[in-house]
Amino acid sequence: MTGTRVADLTVQLGRTIALTNVTVAFSSGVTAVVGANGSGKSTLLRCMAGLVRPHAGSVHVAGHSLATPDGRRAARAALGYLSQRTDFPGSYTVREALRYGAWLHRVPRAERESTVRDAVERFALTDHQVAELRTLSGGTRQRVYIALASIHRPSVLMLDEPSVGLDLAQRHALREVIHRASQDSTVVVTTHDIDDLVSMADRLVVLAEGVVVFNGTVTELDATGDRSNVERQVRTLMTGAQVA
Ligand SMILES: Nc1ncnc2c1ncn2[C@@H]1O[C@H](COP(=O)(O)OP(=O)(O)OP(=O)(O)O)[C@@H](O)[C@H]1O
């Protein structure tokens, strides 16, 4: 079964309508979800992770509907999710954290060590294996967190603002990591960074006040692919206006 999509999704949180009739099908590669603060980006990811129950509409993750317990179980196994608030005890070493992640994601005991070795390699963590998380730079720690979210090789990987707090070089390195992850998984990433869109995203979903105002490729948005043109278009869309 394939297909990661939300259809006619409406989510109310307290008195706020966080998402209204959102319909998006996520294809392979990297989809960036952008929007102003409070536009509903995190809510969309939280809904797809099964952490927020929609008021109306449907969610499918890798073909599994979140409407039934069996579907939710299957979707959870197919999904990797890095929340904006991910934190991990700083006294864990990278290896210990990854071992814990493998257990958490129900990797069979016999496969855990090879799974950890594989993640260390995939995410270029060889030199940091025995370092405690609290001693790592923000960029390396974020790489560990992405390794944790994708240790079970999920078919869908959702990353909520992974580049926040990173410097330019770290953002650049992170894009490489995300690009590599997208070879195994459908990646959905929320970001405020226009460079992320131009250099990393295959597709772009723009939200304004909980409504999808654009869903397409960066080239469809702006054929020149020029950074400042794309930025202007996205900024305009984020205010809820239609791009000419
Ligand atoms: N638990 C909650 N209870 C009530 N309202 C909420 C709750 N969580 C979020 N909201 C509201 O829902 C709307 C969407 O929030 P959400 O966090 O999804 O936006 P966002 O685009 O991810 O923002 P940011 O870029 O600041 O992370 C906002 O108006 C927010 O204030």
Quick check: is 113 in a domain? no
Tens digit of each residue's pLDDT (9 = 90 or more) over 2-28: 699 999 999 999 999 999 999 999 999
214 within 8 A of 206, measured Cβ to Cβ? yes
CA-based end-to-end distance of the chain: 38
How many structural domains does the chain have? 1
The preferred substitution site among 19, 41, 55 for testing ligand 1, maximizing ligand atoms within 8 Å of CB, is 41
Quick check: is 102 in a domain? no
Of the CA atoms within 13 Å of residue 87, those in its CB half-sphere come to 3
**Is the entire prediction scored with pTM above 0.90?**
yes
Quick check: is 118 in a domain? no
Structural domain of residue 159, as residue ranges? 4-86+155-238
Angle among Cα 60, 61, 67 to the nearest 5 degrees reads 45
Quick check: is 92 in a domain? no
- Which of 2-6, 110-114, 168-172 is modeled with the greatest confidence? 110-114
Q: How far is the CA of 135 from the centre of ligand 1 (A)?
A: 31
Nearest CA to ligand 1 atom 29: 38
Quick check: is 38 in a domain? yes
Quick check: is 121 in a domain? no
Q: The complex's ipTM? A: 0.95
CATH of the domain at 81: 3.40.50.300
Nearest CA to ligand 1 atom 30: 38
* Residue of higher predicted confidence among 76 and 223: 76
Quick check: is 220 in a domain? yes
Quick check: is 178 in a domain? yes
